[in-house]
């Protein structure tokens, strides 16, 4: 039985690369026994060959010249773990042009340039695998590409950023402020020095672009996604939400509507009985609704060296299967048309609103009229005892077109008795 040998050239040896290398070295017998394939980590591109590393590769494995990998005909798989757009994109393109398969964990690259790189792969009868680019160790790409292929997916809803989910969980369970929770996240390594991509929702938007493209079989541009971060979430909102039977999560949402797709990242109230409500701390989950399978959810660690390495290696083994029979008929993602993405205004949602009003006659009637005139029906209402003549009102509407809600809100905020400042969050239905 001829044994397949996967000869890997790895670009980058940071936390994920070290995790991958350690599994390849320490578990080579296990991998070979389970798959009939031998995996060799032949060369690794690094910036500093002399740097001391946790994983012990022979010194000749390290190089600072990408050509040592891209130009080596014995290397059949290039593993891109550098991150960033360039030179990762150029290296991946070169690898494909020279007949090598590519495995990447590069979320930014796949979100921004995935389509063109997958087309390039097709032209060279190769493929790019990117399970590790979204959701760490959670199988997401392969289930969407293969297991759920017979479904028309109507919606995906994901908690796909561990930093913000950790922060929101700590604000809820430990009554921390956002800043306190962020400091704790940093101390535990769940937040980077500059966490703005996480806090502002951009990290989640990149991942949504990748997942939604697969789920809805469309090409998606990042700028089509409406993005809001968690900066406006307060402890007060979290506690009111819980009283009303909800928790607050940063959700990445994609939905197939008759006229096109809805794509957005924003904080949202999630019913406590929804499976997504029990996804806590640094854990991630993606909830998918398909017309055949119904509701399916994938949950796990969305980041980290070993979880990401788990997904990288699953893709490496997939390449091994491809080496036995190169892909002849192209790569499914290439048949995707451009997405028609609907503006937020036309999307239907229910809304949570918290505001302060002067506690005097007629104010609530004014609110009720503003809503009624826009056909906004109210589902839940809470008014707590006022302090110093100011009452705090919390409402949850029924489903309404966003544009109508916004108009009603604008009118309400102009009312003289309504204090400036309010919180609005959409509610997951």
Nearer to a second copy, 145 or 239 (CB): 145
In three-state secondary structure terms, 146 is helix
Find all residues with CB under 8 Å of 63, minimum gap 6, and list them.
Answer: 43, 44, 45, 46, 49, 69
Find the binding residues for a second copy in span 23-42 (CB under 8 A): 23, 27, 30-31, 33-36
Find the binding residues for a second copy in span 278-317 (CB under 8 A): 278-280, 283, 290-301, 304, 306-307, 309-311, 313-314, 317
Distance (Å, whole) CA 394 – CA 411: 17
Binding mask 318-337 for a second copy (x = CB under 8 A): x-----xx--xxx-x--x--
Q: How far is the CB of 249 from a second copy (least distance, A)?
A: 14
Nearer to a second copy, 178 or 313 (CB): 313
Q: How far is the CB of 269 from a second copy (least distance, A)?
A: 17
Q: How far is the CB of 129 from a second copy (least distance, A)?
A: 11
Strands 260-271 and 226-227: parallel
In three-state secondary structure terms, 148 is coil
114 binds a second copy (CB under 8 A): no
Question: Bridge-partner residues for 39, per DSSP?
Answer: 6
Nearer to a second copy, 299 or 364 (CB): 299
Nearer to a second copy, 38 or 97 (CB): 38
68 binds a second copy (CB under 8 A): no
Task: Read off the tokens for 161.
Answer: 């950023």
Find the binding residues for a second copy in span 180-219 (CB under 8 A): 217
Query: Per residue, what are the HEC states of 385-403?
Result: CCECCEEEEEEEECCEEHH
Give CA separation, 384 vs 231, 321, 357, 394, in Å: 25, 63, 11, 9
Name which position in 6, 69, 138, 220 contacts a second copy (CB under 8 A): 138
Nearer to a second copy, 106 or 310 (CB): 310
Q: Is there a contact between 155 and 211 (Cβ–Cβ < 8 Å)?
A: no
Classify residue 96 by burial, with Cβ atoms within 10 Å: 0-12, 13-18, 19+: buried
Nearer to a second copy, 147 or 223 (CB): 147
Find all residues with CB under 8 Å of 165, minimum gap 6, and list them.
Answer: 159, 249, 250, 279, 280, 281, 282, 283, 284
Number of residues binding to a second copy, judged by CB under 8 A: 63
55 binds a second copy (CB under 8 A): no
275 binds a second copy (CB under 8 A): yes
Q: How far is the CB of 147 from a second copy (least distance, A)?
A: 4
Strands 260-271 and 101-104: unpaired
Q: How far is the CB of 226 from a second copy (least distance, A)?
A: 27
Please confirm, yes or no, whether 388 is among the known catalytic residues. Answer: no
Strands 128-129 and 101-104: parallel
277 binds a second copy (CB under 8 A): yes
Distance (Å, whole) CA 325 – CA 322: 5
Query: Which among 153, 158, 169, 398 has a CA at the least distance from the CA of 275?
Result: 158
Find the binding residues for a second copy in span 5-24 (CB under 8 A): 19, 23
Task: Read off the tokens for 273.
Answer: 């009985």
Strands 337-338 and 218-219: parallel
State the catalytic residue, choosing from 145, 207, 384, 388.
207
Nearer to a second copy, 49 or 327 (CB): 327
Q: How far is the CB of 351 from a second copy (least distance, A)?
A: 25
* Catalytic residue positions, numbered: 207
Which residues in this chain contact a second copy in the complex, by CB under 8 A? 1-2, 4, 19, 23, 27, 30-31, 33-36, 131, 136-139, 142-143, 146-152, 217, 273, 275, 277-280, 283, 290-301, 304, 306-307, 309-311, 313-314, 317-318, 324-325, 328-330, 332, 335
């Amino acid at each position: 039985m001829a044994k397949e040998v996967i000869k890997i050239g790895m670009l980058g040896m940071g936390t994920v690369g070290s995790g991958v290398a350690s599994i390849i070295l320490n578990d080579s017998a296990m991998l070979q026994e389970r798959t009939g394939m031998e995996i060799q980590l032949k060369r690794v591109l690094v910036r500093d060959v002399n740097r001391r590393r946790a994983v012990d590769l022979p010194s000749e494995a390290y190089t600072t010249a990408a050509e040592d990998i891209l130009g080596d005909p014995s290397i059949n798989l290039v593993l891109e773990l550098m991150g960033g757009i360039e030179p990762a994109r150029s290296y991946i393109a070169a690898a494909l042009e020279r007949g090598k398969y590519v495995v990447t964990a590069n979320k930014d690259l796949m979100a921004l340039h995935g389509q063109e790189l997958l087309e390039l792969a097709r032209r060279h009868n190769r493929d790019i695998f990117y399970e590790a680019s979204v959701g760490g160790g959670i199988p997401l790409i392969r289930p969407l590409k293969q297991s759920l292929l017979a479904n028309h997916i109507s919606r995906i809803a994901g908690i796909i950023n561990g930093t913000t989910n950790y922060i929101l969980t700590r604000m809820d369970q430990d009554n921390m402020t956002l800043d306190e929770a962020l400091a704790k996240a940093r101390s535990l390594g769940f937040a980077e020095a500059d966490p703005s991509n996480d806090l502002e929702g951009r990290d989640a938007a990149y991942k949504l672009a990748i997942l939604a493209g697969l789920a809805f079989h469309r090409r998606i541009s990042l700028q089509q996604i409406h993005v809001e971060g968690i900066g406006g979430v307060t402890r007060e909102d979290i506690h009111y939400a819980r009283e009303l039977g909800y928790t607050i999560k940063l959700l990445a949402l994609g939905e197939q509507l008759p006229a096109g797709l809805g794509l957005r990242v924003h904080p949202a109230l999630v019913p406590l009985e929804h499976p997504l409500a029990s996804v806590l701390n640094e854990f991630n989950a993606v909830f998918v609704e398909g017309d055949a399978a119904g509701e399916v959810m994938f949950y796990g660690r969305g980041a980290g060296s070993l979880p990401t390495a788990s997904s990288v290696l699953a893709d490496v083994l997939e390449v091994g299967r491809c080496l036995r029979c190169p892909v002849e008929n192209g790569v499914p993602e290439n048949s995707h048309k451009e997405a028609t993405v609907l503006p937020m205004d036309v999307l239907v949602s229910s809304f949570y609103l918290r505001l302060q009003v002067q506690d005097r006659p007629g104010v609530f009637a004014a609110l009720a009229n503003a809503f009624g005139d826009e056909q906004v029906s109210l589902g839940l209402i809470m008014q707590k005892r006022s302090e110093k003549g100011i009452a705090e009102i919390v409402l949850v509407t029924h489903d309404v077109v966003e544009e109508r809600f916004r108009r009603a809100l604008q009118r309400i905020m102009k009312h003289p008795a309504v204090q400036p400042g309010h919180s609005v969050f959409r509610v997951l239905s």
